[in-house]
Structure 1
Amino acid sequence: MIPARPPRATTRHRDGLIHAYVVDSGAFGTLEPAAVFRPQAGDEVVGSAVRPDLERVVYTTRNRVVCLTRAGDLVWASAFEPHSDVRYGHQPAGALSLDGRTVWVYRPDAMAGRGSADQWVVYDAESGVVLARRELETVGHGAWHQVHPVDGSIYLDIGEGQDDEEEWFRHHLVDLRTGTLAGELVVEATDPYAPEFLGDGSWLTNGPAGHPVRAARPNGALRVRP
């Protein structure tokens, strides 16, 4: 028997805090935070991921990755060496594996002035010990991790900038069985990075108060529950 997957959790950063939300299968409309984490003093958070049980959060700053308990106790921290004084243009990003045993961190080291190439580093989620490290052939500003909901494989999407070109974006539905386009998906978003697609036909966007809003489009019609 295949065990049921835990509910998906997502985070938002607001007022210096990390707000964690649980995306239950039947929850639509504006989501309310299920837990709030306070970063360590002086840390400017640029990315975060939370365990589905909301007992641990992992966040990145421009110079380190940190793991805290729900009570705010430090579990471990790992600095990105050498320290970078470059304030803009690089945002390290992290993600937890499907089983929660490892933390995957993308380091945009080239833009941070730490070398000529970026790094992808895997940490033990309990101890912070580095398990693997890969030098990448990229010079990126940031990245997004995609965790496969079934086999747990992790994919990395790196953003290397647009050389001052005007950005535009559209979203399309794709039939996973055939790979054919099934129509355009209209999502109200102010930038191409705002929608967070959950892989079940629904997605998150940011509401006016900073909380995520979940919507879906079943049978060709947009659905949003208040």
Structure 2
Amino acid sequence: MIPEAPPKVITRLRDGRFHAYVVGVSVYGTLEPAAVFQPGDGEEVVASVVGQDLERVVYTTLNGVVCLTRAGDLMWAAGFEPHSDVRHGHRPGCALSMDGRTVWVYRPDAMAGRGGGDQWVVHDADSGVVLCRRELETVGHGAFHHVHPVDGSIYLDIGEGQDGSVILRGTVGADSEPEFVTYPWQDRCLIDLAPSGHQFMTVDHGQTDVAFHDHLDGDVLFTLPVEAFG
């Protein structure tokens, strides 16, 4: 029996404010925001995420990551150094861990012209202290985070434009060293994780097929060509 997926908190930037919506299998009809947050004045928001408890929002700009309380108080902020004046082609992303203890930030530093490669950085969610930093061999424009619904590991799908897509998975335990895995392909885009957490789904970068993979090792369970969908 497949367990019921926990409710998801989806964040949208509307009228200059973050609107957090709670979505679950028993939710029907027009959604109303469960919480609303106000970003700092004059900040160009790139990506945002609200925790399951609806008490904080984390968002990225082109040059940093910010964490605010629901009341609008600044908890912490971390700038991306050196400052980049590049306006287009790089979109930093962020995610909160399932337990709300860590913030995961993807930095497309190569496209931002910071003189180095991309980074995947894990911050303490309460203080902003960097817990670990992963130097990446990618030149990405942006990335999507996916939080595993059972074990809390974080998947990262980095888009490199015409060069394809790189998928990684990271875990940071309470008393263990961080572990990072890079899957051995650069031509598949991660779409989503199964509610059970047993599999994840990818699509070929050229959209020729869809594949379902085993969680952890990434082994292909089965593949369907695009022709199968008529």
- In the superposition, the TM-score normalised over structure 2's length comes to 0.70
Q: Which amino acid aligns with 1:72?
A: G
Q: Look up the match of 2:189.
A: none
Contact 1:6 1:52 in 2 (8 A): no
Q: Is 1:179 aligned with 2:221?
A: yes
Q: What's the CA shift string for 1:13-54, capped at 9, x where partnerless?
A: 122211111112211454221111110111111001111111
Contact 2:209 2:224 in 1 (8 A): no
Q: Look up the match of 2:59.
A: 59
- Percent identical pairs in the alignment equals 68
If asked which structure has higher relative contact order (CA below 8 Å, sep 6+), I would say 1
SS at match of 2:111: helix
1:180: how far off? 2.8
Query: Which structure 1 segments of 5+ residues have no match?
Result: 187-226
User: What is the RMSD of the two structures over their aligned residues, measured on CA atoms?
Assistant: 2.7
SS at match of 2:162: coil
Q: Is 1:106 aligned with 2:106?
A: yes
Q: Look up the match of 2:134.
A: 134
Q: Look up the match of 1:84.
A: 84
Q: Look up the match of 2:173.
A: none
Q: Work out the CA distance in 1 between the residues paired with 2:211 and 2:159.
A: 22
Q: Which amino acid aligns with 2:18?
A: I
Pair 1:21–1:171, CA change in 2 (3 A): farther
Pair 1:52–1:115, CA change in 2 (3 A): same
Contact 2:209 2:223 in 1 (8 A): no
Query: Which structure 2 segments of 5+ residues have no match?
Result: 164-204
Q: What's the CA shift string for 1:140-199, capped at 9, x where partnerless?
A: 000011111101111110001127xxx97588585979823579798xxxxxxxxxxxxx
SS at match of 1:27: coil
Q: Which amino acid aligns with 1:67?
A: C
Q: Look up the match of 2:198.
A: none
- Which has a greater percent of strand? 2
SS at match of 1:162: helix
Pair 1:80–1:176, CA change in 2 (3 A): closer
Runs of at least 4 residues off by over 4 Å: 167-178, 181-186
1:95: how far off? 0.2
Q: Work out the CA distance in 1 between the residues paired with 2:30 and 2:86.
A: 36
Q: Give the alignment of 1:185-204 within 5 angstroms.
A: none
Contact 2:211 2:221 in 1 (8 A): no
SS at match of 1:180: strand
Q: Look up the match of 1:216.
A: none
Q: Which amino acid aligns with 2:89?
A: G
Q: Work out the CA distance in 1 between the residues paired with 2:93 and 2:213.
A: 29
- The total of aligned residue pairs comes to 180
Q: Work out the CA distance in 2 between the residues paired with 1:175 and 1:29.
A: 33
Q: Look up the match of 1:8.
A: 8
Q: Is 1:117 aligned with 2:117?
A: yes
Pair 1:140–1:174, CA change in 2 (3 A): closer
1:115: how far off? 1.7
